[in-house]
Structure 1
Amino acid sequence: MFVRAPGSRVPAVVATCVLAALLATGCGQSDDPSVADPSPSPTAAAPSTTTAAPAPSDSPTPSATASTPTVDRQITVTIAKRRVSPPTARITVGKGELVRITVTSDVPDELHVHGYDLGARLPAGMPASVEFRAEKTGLFEVETHESELVLFQLVVR
């Protein structure tokens, strides 16, 4: 009959954990500095929000990669001293277009797209974006929550 002492499995368990940790940290890593790490994918399936500034590009026009669809409509808004630039207006987009709204605020706030229930934290002085497919038709306000500013009205036709 074979009997094991209670502590005899500890070295095997420790070795397994160390091996798993080494494999996990080494997986997907590249020593080549020209290979960029991919951004973490958003947890929501449809809309995505980004709070980091876009990376600078050497080319004058942005190019889309195979995994990133081309944005049909880019809307950029700046808030400084409670003033919206460009001034509040209606912006019309076509149904089905991929829309990216990028907002830079001089104070911390929260961006909200009514009707689509999308939002993004606006850290002071840093651009934040929300991207979505305009599938719902109608008139939707895009505003900030803390300062209660209407940035524009989005018309989807």
Structure 2
Amino acid sequence: MSVPGSPTARSAVLLVTGLLTAVLATGCGQDDDPSVAAPSAAPTSAAAPTTSAEPSTADSPTPTPAASTPAVDREITVTIAKRRITPPTGRVTVTKGQSVRITVTSDVADELHVHGYDLGARLPAGTPGSVEFRADKTGLFEVETHETELVLFQLVVR
């Protein structure tokens, strides 16, 4: 048995404190839930979407990079109102290695999810929520809402 204040007791306290910190930092540990970020405190300005120059459907959204955010290579902004998605659902292509920010504003509370990257953000009604990441995996990834189950767009990383 260790005596309070002894080196053994202090080591035990440090070990327990370290383990508790690690458990709290890892969250709930559910594998099927994405990492959920709190919505951004201040919405960032976003560039208006433009039509893709690539051969694809005419209503594919291809937002342009935002001039006001040099740290982000690609800003993708989506608005949901009465289950209508603006810009309309389509494919958005980015280059592998680009820094991407997806900002979604919904008229109802929901949760944003980026498949394949397992990223998410809470979407309080009327408040933008964002995820920011480096597009380091190639492929086709759906970006959707969880509660309303709306596919916002398909992210193509080449």
* TM-score higher than 0.5: yes
The residue that corresponds to 2:146 in the other structure is 145
Task: Kindly report which structure 2 residues correspond to 1:6-155, keeping only aligned pairs within 5 A, or say none.
Answer: 49=37, 51=39, 52-54=41-43, 61-62=67-68, 64=70, 70-155=71-156
Give the deviation of 1:62 after TM superposition. Answer: 1.9
1:108-144: CA deviation from partner (whole Å, max 9, x where unpaired): 0000000000000000000010000000000000000
Q: Answer yes or no: is the 8 Å Cα contact 2:79–2:104 preserved in 1.
A: yes
Cα 1:85–1:49 shift into 2, 3 Å: same
Cα shift readout 1:14-61 (whole Å, capped 9, x = no counterpart): xxxxxxxxxxxxxxxxxxxxxxxxxxxxx79xx9945123368xxxx5
Separation in structure 1 between the aligned mates of residue 75 and residue 153 of structure 2, nearest angstrom: 13
CA distance in 2, matches of 1:79, 1:91: 17
- Contact persistence 1:48–1:132 (CA under 8 A): no
Q: Which 5+ residue runs of structure 1 have no aligned equivalent?
A: 1-42, 65-69
Structure 2 CA distance for aligned equivalents of residues 48 and 73 of structure 1? 21
TM-score normalised by structure 2 residue count? 0.61
Partner of 1:25: none
TM-score computed with the length of structure 1 as normaliser:
0.61
Q: Please state how far the C-alpha of 1:104 moved relative to its aligned partner.
A: 0.1
User: What is the identity, as a one-letter code, of the residue corresponding to 2:157?
Assistant: V
Which SS does the other structure have where 2:117 is aligned?
coil
Gaps of 5+ in 2: 1-24, 27-34, 46-66
Q: Distance in 1 between matches of 2:44 and 2:80?
A: 21
The letter of the residue matching 2:108 is V
One-letter amino acid matched to 1:120? A
Aligned to 1:18: none
Distance 1:113 1:55, change over 3 A: closer
> Which residue does 1:33 correspond to in 2?
none
User: Is residue 80–residue 106 contact of structure 2 (8 Å, CA) maintained in 1?
Assistant: yes
